[in-house]
Amino acid sequence: MTSTIFTIGFTKKTAEQFFGLLQEAQVQKLIDIRENRGGQLAGFAKYPDLAFFLDRLLRIKYEYQPIFAPSPEIRTAYRKTRDWEQYEKSFLELMEQRKVLEYTAPNAFEGRVALLCSENEADRCHRRLVAEMLARQWNAQGHRIEVAHLATPKPAPRRKRQPKGHAGADPF
């Protein structure tokens, strides 16, 4: 099996950016791994609206897999300490306790699949940990799994504008 597991977060993205990233990556299925998929801050990414938009706009299948979500205790501890190493350790232990690698079949991720959560960037997000964990396991079994993170391009830093007619000259 050959697959690409994409990750995407919805915060700090417009609907146009979010759905554009999915379309550009040719995602076939989105797996929602948030614990709370109906939160009022989710906007266009709130269930059931998200499933409707994915189907109608892009013909992307929607699936909900809360087994991959962090526990409220892990999230609370991270908010208090901001200790990412501890978060990662606790999260991976939780995945082991839930036996997600035993209960998750590679064929459920065949093709171009995206994991969704809320965080804008993947570096400190459980969706990255899930994608890497699955890829590591299945690549070791002989599958070919790639991981890619979908993100909006960062804007170029703004340069200070020089006053007109004073290119580098002292105005006084």
In a domain, 168, yes or no: no
User: What end-to-end distance do the CA atoms of the chain give, in Å?
Assistant: 69
Q: Is residue 167 part of a domain?
A: no
pTM of the model: 0.88
The mean predicted confidence, pLDDT, of the chain is 92
In this structure, which amino acid lies at residue 81?
A: T
The pLDDT-based confidence of 171 (bands split at 50, 70, 90) is very low
Asked whether residue 144 carries a pLDDT value surpassing 70, the answer given is: yes
User: Does any domain span residue 163?
Assistant: no
Q: In the sheet that 61-64 helps form, which strands lie side by side, from edge to edge?
A: 61-64, 29-32, 111-117, 2-9, 144-149
Q: Is 55 within the bounds of a domain?
A: yes
Phi and psi at residue 93, in whole multiples of 5°? -65, -40
The number of folded domains in the chain is 1
Q: Residue 86's domain spans which residues?
A: 2-149
What's the average model confidence in pLDDT over 66-85?
97
What is the mean pLDDT of the segment spanning 65-89? Answer: 97
Phi, psi (rounded to 5 degrees) for 53: -60, -45
Residue (of 39, 42, 55, 44) closest to 17 by Cα position: 44
**Per the domain annotation, does 11 fall within a domain?**
yes
